[in-house]
Chain A
């Protein structure tokens, strides 16, 4: 009640998911006062990222079926005091039902010695830290404090002007620091062979709770400004192969092909035999470790598990936005390394780039030519409408078949590259293929980027920018109701019995009252997170894998599978994380996704006492732990139809693989709120800011420099996660860059 929150804001935002965070940053960036609240004690809402213990905690919490809303009792007398005669109040739901059917399966023993597994809640040091680090207004207590986001979560944010809070937080953290140091030090010795060189990095972040174990991975990381050096690896650096000679050579081509094909078949079978040989070696490693639940808890901080994992298309709108707004510096990325598909009862790598097509042993040279030709055409299909004339409205798959492509090539293009199902019309299929190909080769051998440490980082990047521009953050703060004026326009909220006025109220759909939303939200997404012992398709190097499973008898709808290893900073060495999602068909996510799991993994070991993971010698990876859940999908309905004016409702993560819809949504909503304003103009770098004592004419044309700076000026990726706590002199930066480039260090 008596907190120091101002009582007037331009924009109040409920929920710290992706669209809300983008809007928060965009509003703060143009000078609006922003109050950003989240009912949870963590950032991200349905887009959040957890370590292992936090995810188990989340699981436990959501297993409980939320009670019915007791709307009447919520209308407090105190509300009436704050309202003028013409105003009314609408209560907001306190028990969101956007997450359903949470089901968690542990397939390993509790600990190496334990015989039985009692369901037990492990309360961790993290939980304690969390309450320390994140200043929170407990719903029940009056003892609340305000903080800018920057001060609130030490892990990725630097202190802002609210230095008192920062100091206070710093103090409470101190107790945790020493503990962390010891703990992570020891765990590093035990589990990470060669990690001594990482110590300096860790020491900087040691006191920062969850992300203590984060290390910069220099070699493989990229940020959206790099990639020129990879130009040569691009698909089709010479894609403009001319079609002029085609007419008369068709026959000849065939005859040449016939000759080549025979030989080629022989070689292919030889090579695939070799492949099998290699594969056989892989799983029978003698030193396979038996993991226990205790191990997972001990290494909890090495996990960064996402509720809503997505990939970024290298040329997609989010990468564009991150670069143009200069927010890219807050994150690091890694390129997905392969796209798999399930064909002829096994997993196969889809050749999508030129290098892939050249190196693949799964298709003949003739198929290679057909594939490359088609991909080249798709890249600029608009220029050759005659090629697909007559197929515009017909399914893409029919068009592909009409091109005399072999079934496996059709499969690659349709299900793995365009990632569409059989009913999708040709134009849509071509567009999807084109999108894929356009993003290919910018940062590596696949069109997709993965944010290191998980997708949960991304909303926080935007939150950070918002905080830098004065936005106020308050986690674990719920909102009881919305205040409407006589015309039904939203003028403020009730939060913690306090009235806060605003011109715009943005809320994630699970915050909105039922009457604000469309009558029913029929669609849901089924999601699953698996922690597994090995890769679904082992390879020499660690891979970052995307796989789409096409619906068939067992699999009810297209399943998107992402597999990430320790190199993606999501799990400890020796483990993999597999995410699955699909549009819900059955009642529960488990029913939807179990068939896919059975296809990729060895059968889930539900009796933890008998079989212990790692004992059998099957090829498939074993699942150590997994969780299934359903989530309401509000991306498919128009959320801003029934809501009061002055409010904006944003959608849930939904089932799409990338962030295209999210960015589009945020941009459109921003334009609706502030039609005349620019959406996230480039944020200045620290050295462009006029400091006190600097000469010059301040306050003039603040944003002008933005246009003159190109993408290339974005900082080096390894600096991206560094905090601008102290504005570095250019020399410092140079030195750092040199260190990071040093070839000898490796």
Chain B
């Protein structure tokens, strides 16, 4: 099998036709479907008789890798893991949790916006003996590189930061990096708006120091001048301006339309 040229009578390869390929694919699909059905049945049976063991983990894991959005399946895993936490030593359970994290990661790669998977990840990190928060932050970085607007991941990132002493100032820098890479990013701008009052508080409650506000204004001004038709920057612009008096905000709202028109 090491050679293609064996199948080359006068340079013509024999190639499968489309129909052949489709038939093959269909066969594969049917096979997978049967496995999936059988697996699902099996774990439901096991749950009924409260048989929580490694086999259950293995089967549900396979099912979830095929379909990460199968909520019940994640719940079954939680039941199993909760039970196993009492049965196993801490070391063993740490190992199990690591495997769980690995599984979730695989599922997230399949569907980076799976509610169930992100939820399970938060749960296991709170549940496991020694979570590695640094690694989780790296994971967020990677997923946000792949899709900078994945709000699941942004939420998860806040969860990680809360539990791992990541300073809001570092996060502020991170949002700037993301905005600079692509400022069409509501999540990043929004996160920024929630971090600024923490990092640069002013004497007023829940407000931001004036100098910083001006700097932010300059940043967003660069964005709208670059692409006035991008909404996300205008949202942030509005947040910046709308922080003070309600009356001014209303007044400005009128002008706002004018400004947008002028820009175009």
Of the residues B11, B15, B262, contact of A249 by C-beta under 8 Å: B262
Query: When each residue 225-261 of chain A gets 1 if its CB lies under 8 Å from chain B and 0 otherwise, what string results?
Result: 0000100110011101110011001001100100010
Contact A358 B184 (CB under 8 A): no
Instruction: Indicate if A689 sits at the interface (CB-CB under 8 A).
Output: yes
List residues of chain B with CB within 8 A of the CB of A725: 2
Q: CA–CA, A742 to B7, complex, Å?
A: 36
Q: CA–CA, A233 to B18, complex, Å?
A: 36
**If the complex has contacts A358-B183, A689-B16, are A159 and B3 also in contact, measured as CB distance less than 8 A?**
yes
Contact A369 B263 (CB under 8 A): yes
Contact A726 B2 (CB under 8 A): yes
Instruction: List 16 A–B pairs whose Cβ atoms lie within 8 Å, in order of A's numbering.
Output: A33-B10, A159-B3, A161-B6, A162-B5, A238-B227, A249-B262, A369-B226, A684-B15, A688-B15, A691-B1, A699-B14, A702-B12, A705-B16, A705-B18, A726-B2, A744-B139
Instruction: Indicate if B94 sits at the interface (CB-CB under 8 A).
Output: no
Contact B180 A696 (CB under 8 A): no
Instruction: Indicate if A616 sits at the interface (CB-CB under 8 A).
Output: no
Query: When each residue 715-729 of chain A gets 1 if its CB lies under 8 Å from chain B and 0 otherwise, what string results?
Result: 000000000111100
Contact B138 A691 (CB under 8 A): no
Contact B7 A689 (CB under 8 A): yes
> B141 CB to closest chain A CB, in angstroms?
9
Contact A727 B1 (CB under 8 A): yes
Main DSSP-derived SS at the B contact region: helix
List residues of chain A with CB within 8 A of the CB of B227: 236, 238, 241, 354, 358, 372
Of the residues B3, B135, B223, B262, contact of A358 by C-beta under 8 Å: B223
Contact A689 B4 (CB under 8 A): yes
Q: CA–CA, A694 to B149, complex, Å?
A: 46
Instruction: Indicate if B142 sits at the interface (CB-CB under 8 A).
Output: yes
Q: CA–CA, A365 to B142, complex, Å?
A: 32
Contact A704 B17 (CB under 8 A): yes
Name the interface residues of A79-118: CB closer than 8 Å to any CB of B.
none
Query: When each residue 1-36 of chain B gets 1 if its CB lies under 8 Å from chain A and 0 otherwise, what string results?
Result: 111111110111111111011000000000000000
**B135: nearest chain-A partner, CB-CB:** A744
> Tally of A-B residue pairs with Cβ under 8 A?
163
Instruction: Indicate if B114 sits at the interface (CB-CB under 8 A).
Output: no
Contact A252 B262 (CB under 8 A): yes
**If the complex has contacts A372-B227, A696-B16, are A355 and B5 also in contact, measured as CB distance less than 8 A?**
no
Contact B264 A241 (CB under 8 A): yes
Contact B13 A689 (CB under 8 A): yes
Contact A365 B17 (CB under 8 A): no
**B184: nearest chain-A partner, CB-CB:** A232
Contact B7 A470 (CB under 8 A): no
List residues of chain B with CB within 8 A of the CB of A738: 106, 109
Instruction: Indicate if B261 sits at the interface (CB-CB under 8 A).
Output: yes
> B114 CB to closest chain A CB, in angstroms?
15
Contact A368 B225 (CB under 8 A): yes
Name the interface residues of B97-138: CB closer than 8 Å to any CB of A.
102, 105-106, 109, 135, 138
Instruction: Indicate if A469 sits at the interface (CB-CB under 8 A).
Output: yes
List residues of chain B with CB within 8 A of the CB of A252: 262
Which of the listed residues A28, A359, A686 has the most CB atoms from chain B within 10 Å of its own CB? A359
Instruction: Indicate if A703 sits at the interface (CB-CB under 8 A).
Output: yes
Contact B262 A684 (CB under 8 A): no
Contact B15 A705 (CB under 8 A): yes
Q: CA–CA, A741 to B106, complex, Å?
A: 9
> A726 CB to closest chain B CB, in angstroms?
6
List residues of chain B with CB within 8 A of the CB of A704: 15, 17-18
**B4: nearest chain-A partner, CB-CB:** A468
Which of the listed residues B6, B182, B218, B263 has the most CB atoms from chain A within 10 Å of its own CB? B182
Contact B226 A368 (CB under 8 A): yes
Instruction: Indicate if A285 sits at the interface (CB-CB under 8 A).
Output: no
**A271: nearest chain-B partner, CB-CB:** B218
Instruction: Indicate if B181 sits at the interface (CB-CB under 8 A).
Output: yes
Of the residues B11, B17, B149, contact of A28 by C-beta under 8 Å: B11
Contact B180 A470 (CB under 8 A): no
Contact A33 B11 (CB under 8 A): yes
Contact B225 A468 (CB under 8 A): no
A-B residue pairs, 5 tightest by C-beta: A31-B11, A365-B225, A161-B5, A160-B5, A690-B14
Instruction: Indicate if A148 sits at the interface (CB-CB under 8 A).
Output: yes
Q: CA–CA, A690 to B14, complex, Å?
A: 6
Instruction: Indicate if A743 sits at the interface (CB-CB under 8 A).
Output: yes
> B257 CB to closest chain A CB, in angstroms?
11
Instruction: Indicate if A6 sits at the interface (CB-CB under 8 A).
Output: no
List residues of chain A with CB within 8 A of the CB of B222: 358, 365, 368
Instruction: Indicate if A32 sits at the interface (CB-CB under 8 A).
Output: yes
> A83 CB to closest chain B CB, in angstroms?
29
List residues of chain B with CB within 8 A of the CB of A691: 1, 7
Contact B17 A746 (CB under 8 A): no
Contact B7 A232 (CB under 8 A): no
Instruction: Indicate if B146 sits at the interface (CB-CB under 8 A).
Output: yes
Query: When each residue 209-248 of chain B gets 1 if its CB lies under 8 Å from chain A and 0 otherwise, what string results?
Result: 0000000001001110111111000000000000000000
Q: CA–CA, A160 to B12, complex, Å?
A: 15
List residues of chain B with CB within 8 A of the CB of A262: none
Instruction: Indicate if B143 sits at the interface (CB-CB under 8 A).
Output: yes
**If the complex has contacts A688-B21, A743-B139, are A698 and B14 also in contact, measured as CB distance less than 8 A?**
yes
> A503 CB to closest chain B CB, in angstroms?
15
Q: CA–CA, A469 to B7, complex, Å?
A: 10
Query: When each residue 172-192 of chain B gets 1 if its CB lies under 8 Å from chain A and 0 otherwise, what string results?
Result: 000000001111110000000
**If the complex has contacts A253-B262, A369-B226, A699-B12, are A705 and B17 also in contact, measured as CB distance less than 8 A?**
yes
> B225 CB to closest chain A CB, in angstroms?
4
Instruction: Indicate if A121 sits at the interface (CB-CB under 8 A).
Output: no
> A9 CB to closest chain B CB, in angstroms?
12
Contact A696 B20 (CB under 8 A): yes
Instruction: Indicate if B147 sits at the interface (CB-CB under 8 A).
Output: yes
Of the residues B102, B143, B180, contact of A359 by C-beta under 8 Å: B180
Q: CA–CA, A240 to B135, complex, Å?
A: 41
List residues of chain A with CB within 8 A of the CB of B259: 256
Instruction: Indicate if A357 sits at the interface (CB-CB under 8 A).
Output: yes
> B21 CB to closest chain A CB, in angstroms?
7
**A724: nearest chain-B partner, CB-CB:** B4
Q: CA–CA, A743 to B149, complex, Å?
A: 18
Instruction: Indicate if A163 sits at the interface (CB-CB under 8 A).
Output: yes
**If the complex has contacts A159-B3, A238-B230, are A232 and B149 also in contact, measured as CB distance less than 8 A?**
yes
**If the complex has contacts A252-B262, A470-B11, A702-B13, are A355 and B182 also in contact, measured as CB distance less than 8 A?**
yes
Q: CA–CA, A31 to B20, complex, Å?
A: 24
List residues of chain B with CB within 8 A of the CB of A708: 18
Instruction: Indicate if A277 sits at the interface (CB-CB under 8 A).
Output: no
Of the residues A28, A241, A690, A727, contact of B15 by C-beta under 8 Å: A690
> A368-B226, A469-B11 are known contacts; what are 18 more A-B pairs with Cβ within 8 Å?
A148-B5, A161-B6, A229-B146, A232-B148, A232-B149, A232-B184, A236-B227, A242-B264, A264-B218, A365-B225, A368-B225, A369-B225, A470-B8, A688-B16, A689-B4, A727-B1, A743-B109, A743-B142
Contact A744 B105 (CB under 8 A): yes
List residues of chain B with CB within 8 A of the CB of A242: 264
List residues of chain B with CB within 8 A of the CB of A532: none
List residues of chain B with CB within 8 A of the CB of A233: 181-182
List residues of chain A with CB within 8 A of the CB of B143: 743
Q: CA–CA, A159 to B5, complex, Å?
A: 9
Q: CA–CA, A358 to B224, complex, Å?
A: 9
Q: CA–CA, A256 to B146, complex, Å?
A: 38
Contact B102 A701 (CB under 8 A): no
List residues of chain B with CB within 8 A of the CB of A28: 11
Q: CA–CA, A229 to B147, complex, Å?
A: 7
List residues of chain B with CB within 8 A of the CB of A374: none
Contact B3 A161 (CB under 8 A): yes
Name the interface residues of A23-56: CB closer than 8 Å to any CB of B.
28-33
List residues of chain B with CB within 8 A of the CB of A742: 105
Instruction: Indicate if A610 sits at the interface (CB-CB under 8 A).
Output: no
Q: CA–CA, A162 to B4, complex, Å?
A: 11
**A150: nearest chain-B partner, CB-CB:** B5
> A585 CB to closest chain B CB, in angstroms?
39
> A222 CB to closest chain B CB, in angstroms?
13
**If the complex has contacts A264-B218, A726-B2, are A700 and B17 also in contact, measured as CB distance less than 8 A?**
yes
